[in-house]
């Protein structure tokens, strides 16, 4: 019986450790993101964030906004929402007629990236921002995600 109790204890520790590892990378949802002065929050200095509001000379942080084709920004906005909802790693946390905040969670390590979109009707664009919640580097994951969204919307002939 001692052997069986020891095995149960080790198995319980293994389950607890696995659960801890799977949730340890999620971090706490940030409170300092969103719209500030009609723009998305600036990126931190760390190389794990990209935004269309950063200086174009900043190759680490700058990414082009999505340029909407035609004169129907609401159609582009709806298509973007649908695209996010189709991604099993994405969860829309907040959305309205001009702002989307979604969390993207990596499949294995459960790292969470906070991704935002702002519909800029005046300039016929969707402004972008995506940042890793934890860690210093993101190995280009945030940029790749936003560029994949751009490519899909280009296939649909929605953005340039």
In the predicted model, what is the mean pLDDT of residues 77-105? Answer: 97
In the predicted model, what is the mean pLDDT of residues 12-22? Answer: 40
34 within domain boundaries: yes
Query: What is the distance of C-alpha 17 from the center of its chain?
Result: 27
> Model pTM?
0.83
CA distance 66 to 83: 14
Residue 63 has pLDDT above 60, yes or no: yes
- The token pair at 130 is 């995506």
pLDDT band at 22 (very low <50, low <70, confident <90, very high): very low
- The token pair at 138 is 């993101």
33 within domain boundaries: yes
pLDDT band at 132 (very low <50, low <70, confident <90, very high): very high
Residue 20 has pLDDT above 50, yes or no: no
Report the range of poorest mean pLDDT among 21-30, 64-73, 82-91, 148-157.
21-30
Burial class (CB in 10 A: 0-12, 13-18, 19+), 64: middle
Which of 147, 126, 151 lies closest to 65 in space, CA to CA? Answer: 126
12 within domain boundaries: no
113 within domain boundaries: yes
Angle between helices 141-155 and 73-86 (to 10 degrees): 120
Q: Identify the bridge partners of residue 86 per DSSP, sorted by sequence position.
A: none
- In this predicted structure, what is the pLDDT of residue 108? 86
Residue 6 has pLDDT above 70, yes or no: no
User: What is the share, in percent, of the chain residues with pLDDT greater than 70?
Assistant: 84
Give the domain range for residue 132. 27-155
pLDDT band at 57 (very low <50, low <70, confident <90, very high): very high
Q: What is the CATH number of the domain that holds 130?
A: 3.30.310.80
Q: Do the bridges between strand 66-67 and strand 49-51 make them parallel or antiparallel, or are there none, so unpaired?
A: unpaired
Number of domains comprising the chain:
1
In the predicted model, what is the mean pLDDT of residues 106-111? Answer: 88
pLDDT band at 14 (very low <50, low <70, confident <90, very high): very low
């Amino acid at each position: 019986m001692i052997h069986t109790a020891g095995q149960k204890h080790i198995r319980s520790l293994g389950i607890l450790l696995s659960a801890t590892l799977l949730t340890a990378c999620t971090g706490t949802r940030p409170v300092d993101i969103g719209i500030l002065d009609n723009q998305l929050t600036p990126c931190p200095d760390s190389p794990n964030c990209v935004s269309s509001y950063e200086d174009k000379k900043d190759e680490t942080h700058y990414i082009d906004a999505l340029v909407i084709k035609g004169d129907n920004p609401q159609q582009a906005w709806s298509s973007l929402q649908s695209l996010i909802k189709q991604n099993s790693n994405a969860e829309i946390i907040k959305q309205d007629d001009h702002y989307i905040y979604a969390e993207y969670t990596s499949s294995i390590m459960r790292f969470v990236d906070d991704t935002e979109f702002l519909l800029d009707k005046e300039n016929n664009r969707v402004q972008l921002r995506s940042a890793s919640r934890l860690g210093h580097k993101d190995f280009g994951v945030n940029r790749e995600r936003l560029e994949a969204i751009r490519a899909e919307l280009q296939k649909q002939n929605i953005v340039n």
